[in-house]
Amino acid sequence: MRRHFSTHVLVLTVAWAAEARAQVSLQLSVDPPQPAVGEIFHIVYGVSVRGNVDAIVEPLTLPPGIEVLDRPDPPLIPADMMMGGGMFMFRSSVTYVLRALRPGRFVVRNAMARSNQGRTVTQLAPLAITVVRAAPNPQQVAPDPGFTNPFPGLFDPQQPPPPPSLPTGPDVPPDGSLTGAQASAGGFLRVLVDVPNPYVGQQVIYRAFIYVPANDGACEPLHEATLDGFWSEVLMEPRQVCSQRWIPQRVGSWTMTAGMVRRIALFPTHAGRLEIGPLQMGVEYIEGDGFFGRRRRVEMASPAMAIEAREPPLEGRPAGYVPGTIGPLSITAEIDRAQLPVGETATLTVRAQGNGYLGSVTLPSPRGLDGLRVLPGGSRSQVDRTVDPLRGNVTNEYRVVADRPGRFPMEPLNVPWFDPASGRYHVAQVPLPVIVASGAARPADETDDPLDPSIALEGLQREVSLTPETSFFTTPLRVWGAIAVIPGTLLLAGLGMGLRKWSRARRVVQAETTKNDPRALLEQADAALAAGDGPAALGLGARALDRAERGAKTVDAPLAQRARAAREAGDGLRFAGAAVDRDAVAATLREVRAVVAAMEAAS
């Protein structure tokens, strides 16, 4: 049995360093020397060092038409090799895994080593590789008769290893222009969103990647990105502060690796320009190899980015649509008992499943009927993170009470929703059960009892006079006096109309002032909180903060940061669902009031 041995093409150049006994040499070899189209071949790029040399090996420049399956870092020359003096030898090599896409002659360039000052220490001539056409049936190519294998099975040729699989998917840094980053050779942070112009309530995935000139790194969060105007769901575990997978990347002439460190689902809460603040992290990595390299720490910050959120279109919008209700949406309803005695309570449960923002929007409530009351009960929501996009589940409970016997068919429940993919509205409808009540009707309230003596009708006059009535206009003086009163009456009527118009205009001005005055808005927020409406109180507090910022002439950085923190705390409580902590709302309003007072004092 014959075995074919591949012949290596070896190109060697030796350059002597400034020191008498220091030298650097580079090696390039191709295996096989004439690869076929579609065949995997290798370029071995090596360096040999004798003595103490201060140099860096440059990466190879590969021509078009060669597919790179694995591009390693260039071989490393260790620093401070003084042990052994000029007799100390060091060798290192890396292997490029390649595949030719077409036959022809390809030239590999840029095999050189430079000093840290930029001077060329040694350089190889360009290496030409000839790629031939693939054989029609490579399995039947006759072996080279120049070698007979004396040990069958021991030295038989082995299949080359499969090419490394490059990761793909949305969690891999995209190729192309380097957006969302300020590139630096020492490492940088890059942030991206998959939907730059979402609708209110539509899911946006925010991803942050770290690029380092090493195989991996360790991360220390310094400041998380601020999310102003979003409801968010963290999709990476909090303990995973750094990347769990590092992917080779080429950034210009830099060889780097990138790892994802943040993945957050964002849902815009209102339309307009929404800003995502910078993410700041401290990153440590080994510069060079693990033996001769040195540890380096870099503080990185991503640039701030803005998203333009849109309101769903007004054209074709169904009645009762709540902005932020994004579909597809499904809804079901069930009742624990459809037949009940008068005065007893049944529980109606309505479940809706839709976009992840669904838990922070208001779903319509079932309508009651004459003789049937529908009272609000509990509400709870949760998010399913196992699907993409995220799905929100909302469960609302209502108490149904019949005041009289009879059959009560409840109207179907309609929930409009918007589809961002098609840009169209839809309506999810669910039929509600028919309630049958039995027993005697409940007595009416006391205020509705027609026999209540406090509201019984009485005569306007207790004693009726029997004296006949006479006309007032019995003399000319009385007639002309009555006629003379008419102009005065008209004048007074006109004056009264004018006063009413002035009063109405003043009330309109006062209402507009109350709507835009931060102090008045905060008083309304306190009243809403006292009435038990926490979301409304938070909304009024946010409006007061916005009006105060617009009216302030100058706002310094600490005050702006304090205002942003107060707004984020209010947004977090406001969009947390129906169950809002009253004490937390009161504390947030106190902070908003303090920020508004500080802005008014600064103005």
* pLDDT of res. 463: 54
Mean pLDDT of the chain: 80
* pLDDT of res. 191: 95
* pLDDT of res. 532: 79
CB 306 within 8 A of CB 322: no
Residue that wins the pLDDT comparison between 534 and 478: 534
* pLDDT of res. 580: 65
* pLDDT of res. 554: 74
Write down the residue that tokens 């902005």 correspond to.
323
Mean pLDDT of 493-500: 82
* CA pair distance 363, 322, nearest whole angstrom: 8
* CA pair distance 49, 24, nearest whole angstrom: 5
H helix or E strand, kind and range, residue 299 = strand 294-301
pTM of the full predicted structure?
0.50
Domain annotation for the chain: domains and CATH numbers: 9-140 (2.60.40.10), 188-309 (2.60.40), 330-438 (2.60.40.740), 516-602 (no CATH)
Residue 390 confidence (pLDDT) above 70: yes
Helix ranges, 259-366 (H): none
Residue 208 confidence (pLDDT) above 90: yes
Residue 21 confidence (pLDDT) above 90: no
* pLDDT of res. 358: 80
* pLDDT of res. 288: 72
Q: Does residue 521 sit in helix, strand or coil?
A: helix
Q: What is the pLDDT of residues 512-526, one digit of tens each?
A: 665 668 888 888 888
114: exposed, middle or buried (Cβ count in 10 Å: 0-12, 13-18, 19+) = middle
Residue 231 phi, psi (nearest 5): -100, 135
The answer for residues whose C-beta is within 8 angstroms of residue 49's C-beta and 6 or more apart is 23, 24, 77, 78, 81, 89, 90, 91
Residue 93 confidence (pLDDT) above 80: yes
* pLDDT of res. 260: 92
Mean pLDDT of 291-311: 89
Confidence of residue 192 (pLDDT cuts 50, 70, 90): very high
* pLDDT of res. 355: 83
* pLDDT of res. 53: 75
The answer for residues whose C-beta is within 8 angstroms of residue 38's C-beta and 6 or more apart is 99, 100, 101, 134
Percentage, residues of the chain above pLDDT 70: 79
Give, as one character, the DSSP assignment of residue 131: E
Determine how β-strand 66-70 pairs with β-strand 89-100: antiparallel
* CA pair distance 581, 592, nearest whole angstrom: 17
Q: What is the pLDDT of residues 437-455, one digit of tens each?
A: 998 888 765 334 444 443 3
* CA pair distance 29, 33, nearest whole angstrom: 8
Confidence of residue 4 (pLDDT cuts 50, 70, 90): very low
* pLDDT of res. 158: 59
The two most distant CA atoms of the chain are separated, in Å, by 153
* pLDDT of res. 411: 92
Structure tokens at 156: 């038989």
* CA pair distance 10, 92, nearest whole angstrom: 16
* DSSP notation for 161-227: PPPPPPP-STTSPP-SS--SB---TT-EEEEEES-SSPBTT--EEEEEEEEESSS--EEEEEEPPPB
* CA pair distance 433, 424, nearest whole angstrom: 30
CB 440 within 8 A of CB 402: no
Position 228, amino acid:
D
CB 278 within 8 A of CB 225: yes
Q: What is the pLDDT of residues 214-229, one digit of tens each?
A: 988 899 999 999 998 9
* pLDDT of res. 442: 80
Confidence of residue 409 (pLDDT cuts 50, 70, 90): very high
* pLDDT of res. 528: 81
